[in-house]
Amino acid sequence: MTPHHQPSASDAWRSKMRRIRALVRKETHQVARDPSSIAIGVVLPLILILFFGYGLSLDVKNVPVALVIEEPTPEAMELVAGFQLSAYFHPRITRSMPPAQQLLLEHRVDGIVRIPADFSRRVAAGDAQLQLIVHGGDANRARIIEGYVQGVVGVWAARQAAEGRAGAAAPVNVVERLWFNEANDSSYFLVPGLVVLVMTLIGALLTAMVMAREWERGTLEALLVTPVRSEEILLGKTLPYFVLGLIGFVLCVLSARFLFHVPLRGSPWVLLTASTLYLFVALGIGLLISSWVKNQLVASQLTLLVTFMPAFMLSGFLFDLRSMPTVVRLITYVLPARYYVALLQSVFLAGDVWSVIVPNSLVLAGMGAALALASRAAMRKSLD
């Protein structure tokens, strides 16, 4: 690839820019004419963020529970009133266990609270018991329900104690404060996580499909025999998709902010910089995969395997990374999504925390550079 005569540096630079510009123009035409690219870049992010922003929630409200009242004493009825007034429960009252168990078996209720016949007597004696049976299938939900029941009973007990009727308040009370998300609204962390999912998917898909298609059709070989150099081809291919991905990103952030009312406490510029870095990484993954396997079918499957599900499961978007076994946690360090989730959750909810932003951005920048070099190498190799 060494030129025969040595042109001046500015000449070389100018013709390089011209070649890239021509490639970008060609690629932009291709994007504009291919509805599927627009679909991935603009329509897909919108649909995803709308669907999942509204659909995904871990908040538990209106839990159907069966209340078994074996003897309607004043104490028991006061407790029942507590459940009925709570926004978290939707109680159904029965007088004995068998119908309640049937309801649980049919999934009509998520739990059974049994107030035993000797409840009032034992409250007076100070050793009363309540039985709670939860459907343990969804353990997370079961634990949340358990916490709610404890809350209702705690309020009841405090009132009993305040009226000097029975029992005493617990020695130590836990006062909980949830920073960055005072309302305990799960969409606060799910929506930024969704932005990561969407960006990962559209970034990698856009380039993976396109390059693999060119390899399959042989049009890339045709490009490679022209004076255009491989890094110029990569750049020319990437830029239009980068712009497309950026449009998708802006749509996501706008809907997060104005549709789902997730606060943006950090600066929008930090958000944009971090996302630019991540978009390059995601596009790079797609480029690398496609110049490696050169087959649309395999490229698409591979892209999906290494992007969507890992970003969903292993990025810390939903499941806590610190609680994963060491081997699995080591895998998460390789995933760019992990760093982007940390960035987005901080920038959206906590603000510009530089001790989070700087290291995570550096990792993303490093990954982007490594991917760019690797895709160039993969393309060069195929020339031989």
Partner 1 sequence: MLASILRILALTRKELLAVLKDRSSRFSLLIPPVVQALIFGYAATYDLSHVTYAALDQDHTAASRQLLAGLDGSGVFERVGDLQHASDVAAFIDARRALLVVQIDPDFERRLLAGGSADVQIIADGRNSNTAGTAMGYVTGIVNQFNADWGAVHGVASAAVQIVVRAWYNPNLETRWFMIPGMIGTLTLLQTMMLTAMSVAREREQGTFDQLLVTPFRPYEIMAGKALPCMLIGVVQATGVLLVAQLWFRIPFAGSYLTLYVGLLLFLLAAVGIGLLLSAVAATMQQAMLYSMLLNMPFSLLSGLATPISSMPRPVQYLTAINPLRYAIDITRRVYLEGAGIGLLEADLWPLGVTALLTLSAASWLFSHRMQ
Residues between 316 and 375 that touch partner 1 (CB under 8 A): 316, 318-320, 322-325, 327-328, 331-332, 342, 345-346, 349-350, 353, 355-356
Residues 6 or more apart whose Cβ sits within 8 Å of residue 180: 188, 265, 349, 350
Smallest CA-to-CA distance from 117 within 165, 166, 75, 152 is with: 75
Encoded tokens for 60: 């538990």
CB of 130 to partner 1, least distance (A): 5
Q: How far is the CB of 20 from partner 1 (least distance, A)?
A: 25
CA atoms of 77 and 81, how far apart (whole Å): 6
Q: Work out whether 179 is an interface residue with partner 1 (CB under 8 A).
A: yes
The residue within the footprint of partner 1, chosen from 1, 9, 168, 225 (CB under 8 A), is 168
For residue 94, the 8-state DSSP code is E
Please report how close the Cβ of residue 353 comes to partner 1 at its closest, in angstroms: 5
Spatial separation of the C-alpha atoms in residues 330 and 31, rounded to whole Å:
38
- By CB under 8 A, residue 259 contacts partner 1: no
Q: Quick one: which segment of 9-17, 130-138, 255-263, 375-383 binds partner 1 (CB under 8 A)? A: 130-138
Q: Which segments within 218-349 are labelled E, that is strand?
A: none
| 144 touching partner 1, by CB under 8 A | yes
- Tokens at 201, concatenated: 């998917």
Which of 242, 240, 243, 275 has the alpha carbon at shortest distance from 256?
275
Nearest to partner 1 of 20, 209 (CB atom): 209
Q: Rounded to an integer, what distance in angstroms lies between the CA atom of residue 272 and that of residue 257?
A: 14
> Among the candidate windows 145-153, 243-251, 254-262, 368-376, which touches partner 1 by CB under 8 A?
145-153
List the x/- string, 1-40, binding to partner 1 by CB under 8 A.
-----------------------------------x--xx
When the beta carbons of 68 and 349 are compared against partner 1, the nearer one is 349
Cα separation, 112 vs 134, in Å, equals: 6
Q: What are phi and psi of 68, to 5 degrees?
A: -100, 110
Strands 111-115 and 89-94: unpaired
Only one of the segments 17-25, 55-63, 240-248, 283-291 lies at the binding site for partner 1 (rule: CB under 8 A); that segment is: 55-63
Is 94 one of the binding residues for partner 1 (CB under 8 A)?
no
Residue 185 is a binding residue for partner 1 (CB under 8 A): yes
Instruction: Give the integer Cα–Cα distance in Å for 199 and 337.
Output: 9
The backbone torsions φ and ψ at residue 69, rounded to the nearest 5 degrees and listed phi first, read -105, 105
Hey, which residues between 193 and 232 contact partner 1 (CB under 8 A)?
A: 201, 205, 209, 213
**Closest distance to partner 1 from the beta carbon of 121 (Å):** 13
Residue with tokens 């459907």: 135
Nearer Cβ to partner 1 (92/213) = 213
Judge whether 38 and 244 are in contact, CB under 8 Å. yes
For residue 204, give the amino acid letter: A
Q: Which stretch binds partner 1 (CB under 8 A): 25-33, 43-51, 65-73, 247-255?
A: 43-51
Q: Which residue carries 């087959």 as its tokens?
A: 295
Q: Tell whether residue 61 is a contact of partner 1 (CB under 8 A).
A: yes
Q: Looking at 72, 136, 263, 268, which residue binds partner 1 (CB under 8 A)?
A: 136
Task: Decide whether 65 or 372 has the Cβ nearer to partner 1.
Answer: 65
Residue 2 backbone phi and psi in degrees, to 5 = -80, 130
Minimum CB separation of residue 268 from partner 1 in Å reads 18
Tell me which of 38, 46, 56, 246 binds partner 1, using CB under 8 A.
56
Is the distance from CB of 56 to CB of 190 less than 8 angstroms? yes
Using CB under 8 A as the binding rule, the residues of this chain from 283 to 312 that contact partner 1 are: 293, 296-298, 300-302, 304-305, 308-309, 312
